[in-house]
Structure 1
Amino acid sequence: MSLREVFERLAIYLPDDTLEALLIHSKKQKGQKVQLRLLSEQKLAESTEWMAQIEVFKHIIPLWTDDHSNYVGLYVEGPLAYKLCYINHEETDLSPIYRSAASLIAELEQNPELDWEQLHKDYPSDEDISTEQLAEDIRCMHELQAILEKDSSMEDDVRCQLLYSLMAITPVSEVDSLLSYVDDEDMYVQERACILLGYHGYEPATEILKEVVKHGSPNGKLAACKALSMIRAKQMDKHIKK
């Protein structure tokens, strides 16, 4: 069974350019020693059918694996359609990491010897994204916000994953929106908001982060301390460059 036939059998639609990029990449990987390899057609079908039974995975198909029970998955439905996430067997975080399959493929083919942690990622994004990419990220933000606002009774793990994704794709120009999650009742959401504020070096968050250090959840306190250190480091870099 070919890759194309697997998608047809599972009633999964992929844009022509995405499918073509995967077919070409599959041929290039044959016989090569790589850190991330495309799943075989049989394993892809089996894993997709299994994941479809779990709520947080139902819009994702696994495409690559490191052979250590970790996968790179492709969103095939919803606001994040055709973006990629990393499926870690130890800790679930389904926020998008790459904008498209083509983006990851380009990185893998340029650096086949690198493992996942060493690869350059698309998200969280920096300031140098294109106008089109910025518009796409903001569109995704709004659609995810609408889903969260519409269903106030969703399961905690589903809500957490949606918020992880929402925060991950938040562009630098919209980073102030992360402040609303710093006091979230979910300590994992609070933790992620703090870390991303630190990643972006968002100085206006300094006082709020200090309050989290004092009164936040255990996860939030540690993340806020780390975020403050990241902000200070970015401030020093700016000073040195001047």
Structure 2
Amino acid sequence: MSFFKKLFNMTDSKNTNTAHSEPIYINEKLLIDHHLSDSELACFRTFKQVHKNYLVHPITQEDYQALEYMKEFLPDICFLWSDEYGNYAGFFYRGALRGKIMILTHSETLYAPLYSSMKSFIAAVMDSSFEELMIPRLFPTDLSESYMADYPAKTPTVKEQQENYTAAKQLLSTLDSMSDEESYAQTVFQIFYIMPHEHLDELLVFFDSDNLYILQDIPYLFAFHHYQPAVAYLKEAVQKNTPHISSHAKRALTYYTITD
């Protein structure tokens, strides 16, 4: 995508022009303009005071302004943090996902929320194993590793389930008005990441999608939850050698514990 070229150019410029200057971090007035709650402002301020002890820091004013073009793709996001590798963390300041956190990296395009709140995100950053802003792999090479983000959520509280289901339904209602293929897919991924396990049956319909992005990724999202009703769809895709999905379905099936 074109915006990643801009991201790379922006990072190169930052490294050459500001490497030895004292960074000027985001103006707090911008946070107020984006309607952060008092508790969210307090959380941001607290981390700002100690961020030099960690590998993630508040976004600089320069980077914030350079990311203005991303509003075309992510109008509900305010980018608030970055790392030394040119990756960014964004705060959903409005809309169905309000309050959640997503990650923008050079290597992957995923607009789904990964952290349920600013507090949860900051807690993850302050964990000693947190090295950079990244999108965790659903299935890491070492399967004994714990999944580090909040979403997709396997065991949310009852309140979180209700809130996430309401948000997922709101996002589902917007799909019919979308004409751009990638925007449509990214919204579907947002839905998958927050949809409670007991409502995943409402997403089986996406196996009939003709969207390449969706067909390649949903096998793994169902497998992450070990969602058994999806197994029949995955096996059918493998048996019929369905274009775009069969190889992914075959691999996703290996992550299931299936009792025939």
| Length-normalised TM-score, structure 2 | 0.78
Q: Percent identity?
A: 24
Q: Please tell me the residue identity of whatever aligns with 1:144.
A: L
| Corresponding position of 2:170 | 143
Q: Quickly say closer, same or farther: Cα 1:97–1:113, change in 2 above 3 A.
A: closer
Which structure dedicates a bigger proportion of its chain to helix? 1
Q: Secondary structure at the match of 1:225?
A: helix
1:191-221: CA deviation from partner (whole Å, max 9, x where unpaired): 2221111111122222210122233233x22
Which runs of structure 2 are paired with 1:183-202 in the superposition (5 Å)?
Answer: 183-202=208-227
Gaps (5+ residues) in structure 1?
237-242
| Corresponding position of 2:28 | 4
Deviation larger for 93-102 or 197-206 = 197-206
Pairing 1:38–2:58 present: yes
1:38-73: CA deviation from partner (whole Å, max 9, x where unpaired): 212x13531452322x2x222112222222222111
Q: Secondary structure at the match of 2:156?
A: coil
Q: Please tell me the residue identity of whatever aligns with 2:168.
A: M
| Corresponding position of 1:124 | 152
- Give the number of aligned pairs: 224
| Corresponding position of 1:181 | 206
8 Å Cα contact 1:35/1:112 also seen in 2: no
Which runs of structure 2 are paired with 1:92-103 in the superposition (5 Å)?
Answer: 92-103=109-120
Q: Secondary structure at the match of 2:173?
A: helix
Q: Which runs of 4+ in 1 moved over 6 A?
A: none
Pairing 1:88–2:118 present: no
How far is 1:4 from its partner?
1.8
Pairing 1:26–2:51 present: no
Q: Secondary structure at the match of 2:174?
A: helix
> How far apart are the structure 2 equivalents of 1:201 and 1:71?
30
Pairing 1:134–2:161 present: yes
| Length-normalised TM-score, structure 1 | 0.84
How far is 1:183 from its partner?
2.3
1:3-59: CA deviation from partner (whole Å, max 9, x where unpaired): 422335xx32111111110111111113x2x3322212x13531452322x2x2221
How far is 1:102 from its partner?
0.7
| Corresponding position of 1:157 | 182
> How far apart are the structure 2 equivalents of 1:65 and 1:133?
27
RMSD between aligned residues: 2.2
Gaps (5+ residues) in structure 2?
1-24, 137-145
Q: Secondary structure at the match of 1:37?
A: strand
